[in-house]
Chain A
Amino acid sequence: MVSSCAAWGATSSTSIFSTQSTPATEVDHLAYFVLVICALIFIGVSSLLIYALRRYRARPGENVEPPQVFGSVQIELAWTIIPVLIIVTLFLGTARVLFSVQDARKPASALDVIVVGHQFWWEFRYPQYNVITANELHVPVSSPAFSRPTFMKLTSADVIHSFWVPSLAGKTDLLPNRVNEMWIDPQETGVYLGQCAQFCGMQHAKMLLRVYVDSPEQFQQWIANEQKTQGETAVTMQASLSVPGRGNAGQGDPPSNSPAARMETVAQPAGTLQAINAHDGKLEFERQACINCHTVAGTVANGRYGPDLTHLMSRDTLAAGAMPNTPENLKKWIEDPSIFKPGSLMPAMRLTERQDAQITAYLLTLK
């Protein structure tokens, strides 16, 4: 059973047995210890039961009642004391792991991350770097040579959530008006998956987590990019990137996503003034209510209710892992979030096709 657990662990990215970080690994070892003890108890008790059922079944023709035995103090004592000993063993084993994980001291080299849970997305802040991002957590790898664990403080902006990436640690809940703490020290680079583990409303199932464990260099690069505001990159938006959409596909032309098509200004039907381009998209974005909920650092958009979009295009997924980050998905999301996540708190903004396309074009520049 134990080895099949391990084998199964290999097949799933979220197995609690394929651990990459000390909190998870400690628990993993404890789990094996407990499993073995429980397996022995089970085998012992069920063997006795099966034996009794076979040996003492009523044979046909037997009419006499068996000897009536009412109890025995010694036997009762025996099977009180032995379980007490087993429990003491289990408890001591647990206490060791419990205190070492939960009360671990934060080393000076640790990365600080603040996690704020929202319905239905994750906000991540890096106070040491002045970075705010959403849904995809980047942390540096923590090798034995150079230990750099990530110590997280978790809280919630609304209801109770729970941060669970099984390969890295057990889960910790996020509560409003309260700060919980946890830590991870992933030993290998890679992407680790998880999701919210406390029912938090309609889209609890799609509040997914991706943890990117980067090499130290990759992590520094990522931080540097995150620290740039979109005000600095505004200059680069002069290049008009037109996005194919239903409104400007022309008569019968299939929409094309090739770089060449994107660079062209596609002829508009009579009445439409300009091509879809990111600059106009930014103006549209700022005209709409988007800026009340979302932040794009360096612009007037400084809402805190929804995810920070400053570097939206650096993420692999949208809407907390609900779908891959592609232009089509992005456009559909803006059009009506309930296509992907009914119950998401982002309303359908009831934009026209054109507005949709413009805003999408703008968002695609937020690298």
Chain B
Amino acid sequence: MGTDTPGIPIGGGIEAGIDRTRPHATRGTYLEVVHSWIVTVDHKKLGILYISYALVFLLVAGVEALMIRVQLFFPHNTFVTPATFNRLFTMHGTTMVFLMGMPLLFGFGNYLVPLMIGARDMAFPRLNAFSFWISAFAGLLLYYSFIGGVGLAGTGSAPDVAWFAYAPLTERAFSPGHTVDYWAIAILASGIGSIGTAINIIATVFCMRCKGMTLMRIPLLPWLYATMSFLTLITISPLTAAQAMLLIDRYLGGHFFDTQAGGSAILWAHFFWIFGHPEVYVLILPGFAFANEIIPVFSRKAIFGYSAMVAASVGIAFISTGVWAHHMFTIGMTSFGNAFFTLSTMLVSIPTGIKTFNWLATVWGGRIRFETPMLFSIAFLFQWVIAGLTGIMLSISAWDWQLHNSYFVVAHFHYVLVGALVFIVFAAIYYWYPKITGRMLDERLGKWHFWLMVIGFHMTFDVMHFPGLLGMPRQIYTYEPDRGWTLMNQIVSIGGFIQAIAVLILVYNMVHSYFRGDEAGPDPWDAWTLEWSIPSPPPPYNFAIDPVVASRRPLWDLKHPEDPDSAFE
């Protein structure tokens, strides 16, 4: 098998070219190990730090969500005070987007992009470390707000202005405490980290590719990460600018959003959504990246339409910068403005549709295996289609006048962010956990996780559309019993708890498998990109010899020398 013989692989065919050296366990005192993690600039360690940090906040924000759902179980419930409830939904949203979504996706990007392009690390390892630690600081600062001030029971100065923090509610006159300041400064700091990582990813993809890997030969994951990073650069910056303006208003007496001095409340909304809309594409593009890698491997076919996928992804990023005011259809734009943004928003569905149909075509004619990563990917596909369709409904500006700020919107964006993004992230976790840790996650627990997640997710977020259609606005700490919303809210809440159990099963699986899981080996899924050619977990230097590639699927060429991709590209 050639596993322990250094240097020369034995035989040909599938065995050759895949490094089967068994990884050595790391040694050192406890203090040395901790120290090595704190000072690391290794993209793999930083990736793991980012992902772990994000998973912790996933649980924290999940608890916040469950508390919201308990409060909304009955009308006029008094589980939490109005002030606490307002903090809970603000923190839930802010945490999930900035302290869970971004770090998780940057973590995967950090880990995988260099490996997939045959590099030894990111372009700027120290910038990488700096970006992580400033993001970590931002998260701690944001959560310090719970105890900074009055104290936990009164939930201190935790932000309570909704995740989009509309002015002038956030001006000193209407938010005299420090809740807004924690929000603005923490997110500003995390934004700096995001911009740093984005620059790093772009530089890595363009400047660190191994020999033979032209831009049209890189796997789709680095392509999508490069696109997402570019979008990050032009997306986070408007938020940074707007938050700076808000702080100038609050502390230097500025008038950016001071309507008494002629300032405009609508300006904040524009600036925030110029950030906010592309931001959700920043979040979902890596999700697409994972689907682009996982679905082909489990269908045993190359991705259908690589070039179209690249073009569609770049197109989505471009178009997404011109749709932001579909969050503002009720704010009083002219009918022409409303019409323009209706059309531009609908246009996004064209490249998105192309991607979705390409996944369908990849699966078509394949030999589909239904291990856990593929189960989550299939659920992703269905749920993505539904989420996209409710998005189309919301893009209809006239209908949006009814749907805006209702639970229909909440259901839609959770359908995208949980039903699509979180599901495909779960797929990615089951797919790459073996590479990162050298152990397989347990398949049986995986299936339990999957089915509970599907049941809980649909119970919550399918039903959640209906209170919106029946007039229930969002961000309310209670509701009237005569509106007919009560039963639906109860079903939604129960579904939330089922999802919580599913996530706990995943956490247990991840911890238990780390110690007791089956050994994974370098290539447990029989996949085709470069990260599967090195041991699991990879050595610090990644590749013993710099790879040289001739096609988009270098390992396919190795395993199928009679039918290599390089003959077709």
Residues of A within 8 A of B (CB): 5, 8-9, 11-17, 23-24, 26-27, 30-31, 34-35, 38, 41-42, 45-46, 48-49, 52-53, 56-59, 62, 65-72, 75-76, 79-80, 83-84, 87, 90-91, 94-95, 97-99, 101-103, 119, 158-160, 162, 164, 166, 169-173, 175-178, 180-181, 193-206, 208, 321, 342-343
Contact = CB atoms under 8 A, between A and B. Distances in A.
A56 B406 contact: no
B122 to A, nearest CB: 30
A69 B301 contact: yes
Contacts, number: 283
A164 B473 contact: yes
A160 B166 contact: yes
B350 A83 contact: yes
A70 B296 CA distance: 11
A14 B470 CA distance: 5
B365 interface: yes
Nearest to A35: B393
A95 B343 CA distance: 9
A52 B301 CA distance: 13
A342 B366 contact: no
A320 to B, nearest CB: 12
B493 interface: no
A15 B469 contact: yes
Contacts of B269: 160
Interface string B537-569: 000000000000000000000001001010010
A131 B283 CA distance: 51
Contacts of A159: 166, 168-169, 174, 265
Contacts of B347: 87
A94 B266 contact: no
A56 B162 contact: no
A71 B304 contact: yes
A58 B367 contact: yes
Contacts of A13: 471, 482-484
B356 A45 contact: yes
A42 B387 CA distance: 10
B405 A198 contact: yes
Interface residues on B, range: 35 or more
A101 B329 CA distance: 13
Contacts of B277: none
B169 A87 contact: no
A63 to B, nearest CB: 9
Contacts of A101: 398
B381 interface: yes
Interface in B328-371: 330-332, 335, 338-339, 342-343, 346-347, 349-350, 353-354, 356-358, 360-361, 363-370
B244 interface: no
Contacts of B300: 58, 65-66
Given A160-B166, A342-B81, A94 B402 contact: no
Nearest to B397: A98
Nearest to A64: B367
Contact of A170 (B386, B401, B565): B401
Given A65-B300, A66-B367, A83-B349, 8 more contacts: A12-B470, A52-B364, A56-B368, A159-B168, A172-B330, A176-B265, A200-B169, A202-B160
Given A342-B82, A343-B82, A53 B342 contact: no
B477 A205 contact: yes
Nearest to A81: B350
Interface string B390-423: 1011001111111111100000000000000000
B386 A166 contact: no
Given A71-B305, A202-B82, A87 B346 contact: yes
Contacts of A175: 259, 265-266, 331-332
A180 B332 contact: yes
B389 interface: yes
A83 B353 contact: yes
B237 interface: no
A76 B398 contact: no
The 5 tightest CB contacts between A and B, nearest first, are A170-B401, A14-B471, A12-B484, A205-B476, A177-B259
Contacts of B437: none
Interface string B294-329: 000001111011111000000000000000000000
A97 B475 CA distance: 29
A158 B150 CA distance: 26
B469 to A, nearest CB: 6
B12 interface: no
B480 interface: yes
B399 A30 contact: yes
A34 B393 contact: yes
B243 interface: no
Given A53-B368, A79-B357, A94-B342, A8 B469 contact: yes
19 contacts: A8-B484, A23-B401, A26-B398, A41-B385, A52-B360, A56-B367, A70-B305, A72-B305, A87-B343, A90-B392, A176-B168, A177-B260, A181-B332, A194-B471, A196-B473, A199-B86, A202-B86, A206-B478, A342-B81
B174 A158 contact: yes
Interface string B48-90: 0000000000000000000000000000000001110010000
Nearest to A45: B385
B363 A87 contact: no
Given A15-B470, A45-B360, A83-B349, A178 B166 contact: no
Interface in B450-486: 466, 469-480, 482-485
A71 B308 contact: yes
B263 interface: yes
B335 A98 contact: yes
B382 interface: yes
Given A14-B483, A98-B342, A160-B265, A197 B473 contact: yes
B367 A69 contact: no
A176 B263 CA distance: 9
Contacts of A11: 484
